[in-house]
Structure 1
């Protein structure tokens, strides 16, 4: 398998992961509050989470998920509740190192958990599996290629958002500015739930 053959999949993954959503909002908030280095665990968790979802979708688990509407509703509900909880944490936090609910960054497991309960991640990877199924001759190879591609591309995309958040965090000087940013990011996180329930 050549890099030229993988380019369409890489481009699909890049467009899918760099557009605003729940994971990008969390990466931005973490970068603003804790800096890039301390945000690496949540970035890595989200990247590995998406990679594992892509791997499972390419291996056929996505088809099972699509065939069970009740399971989809459970996942949407759990994912929505988790994102609302994160939005509340962000909205109630103050400037870095001044206390609040965001006293420490979210970790690796939180990133994985968030992606496994995110219907957008499943829909995106199932669509990719359907579109790029001919990249490999067997489902195991396809699953590995998908998992690695989405994991690495997501890590890149989320790193950009996290670095942007860190830069934004350096520009904010007053508690009022931090409250405004936290409220804005919390609202974005809640808004990112809406597409989960469409379609």
Structure 2
């Protein structure tokens, strides 16, 4: 398939994944506290989670999940509780190596799970599946194409945010500076919950 045919879906995924949200905020916080290298499992979990959601959406599973209002509410509630818990962890932490709550980076599985419970992520991947279905000749090839595109582009987008977080972490010299940044990141993470509750 010529690259020109893929440019619209790549641009769609890039805009969807690089704009600020819960995953970008958490990737930034992880980069600030632990550096890029130690945050790779989290970024990979986010990317794989979104890629697998896109694959499932292209195969039709996303539409089934979004058609069940009770399941959507349960996903939103669990997701909101988890993000608030993460925000509290970040907000209460201090400088790296001196915090009790942020002692190790979040791992791959938690990154995948954070994406799968998010109805906003399902809405984005379902929208992509509906918009770009003509790119492939069959459902299997389309699911693989969309899943791989979301996975690779999300990995790039979140890596950018994580590296920005690492750069920010190097600029912070005092405990109070860390406290201000951690509280700001925690607030952004809580704010990212709001769009989850809008259709």
After TM superposition, the score normalised by the length of structure 1 is 0.99
Q: How many angstroms apart in 2 are the aligned matches of 1:99 and 1:189?
A: 19
**Structure 1: any 5+ residue segments left out of the alignment?**
none
What's 1:173 paired with? 173
What's 2:57 paired with? 57
SS at match of 1:101: coil
**Structure 2: any 5+ residue segments left out of the alignment?**
none
C-alpha distance after superposition, 1:29-78 (max 9, x if no partner): 00000000000000000000000000000100011012111111111111
Q: Where does structure 1 differ by over 4 angstroms across 4 or more consecutive aligned residues? A: none
Structural mapping, 1:33-52, within 5 Å: 33-52=33-52
C-alpha distance after superposition, 1:11-46 (max 9, x if no partner): 000000000000000100000000000000000000
What's 2:182 paired with? 182
Structural mapping, 1:1-199, within 5 Å: 1-199=1-199
CA RMSD of aligned residues (A): 0.6
Q: How many angstroms apart in 1 are the aligned matches of 2:89 and 2:190?
A: 12
Q: How many angstroms apart in 1 are the aligned matches of 2:88 and 2:119?
A: 21
Deviation, 1:122, is 0.5
Deviation, 1:4, is 1.1
Q: How many angstroms apart in 1 are the aligned matches of 2:18 and 2:92?
A: 26
Deviation, 1:99, is 2.4
Q: How many angstroms apart in 2 are the aligned matches of 1:58 and 1:82?
A: 27
Deviation, 1:100, is 2.1
- Count of residues in correspondence between the two structures: 199
SS at match of 1:44: helix
Q: How many angstroms apart in 1 are the aligned matches of 2:47 and 2:67?
A: 26
Q: How many angstroms apart in 2 are the aligned matches of 1:114 and 1:6?
A: 27
After TM superposition, the score normalised by the length of structure 2 is 0.99
Q: How many angstroms apart in 1 are the aligned matches of 2:73 and 2:24?
A: 23
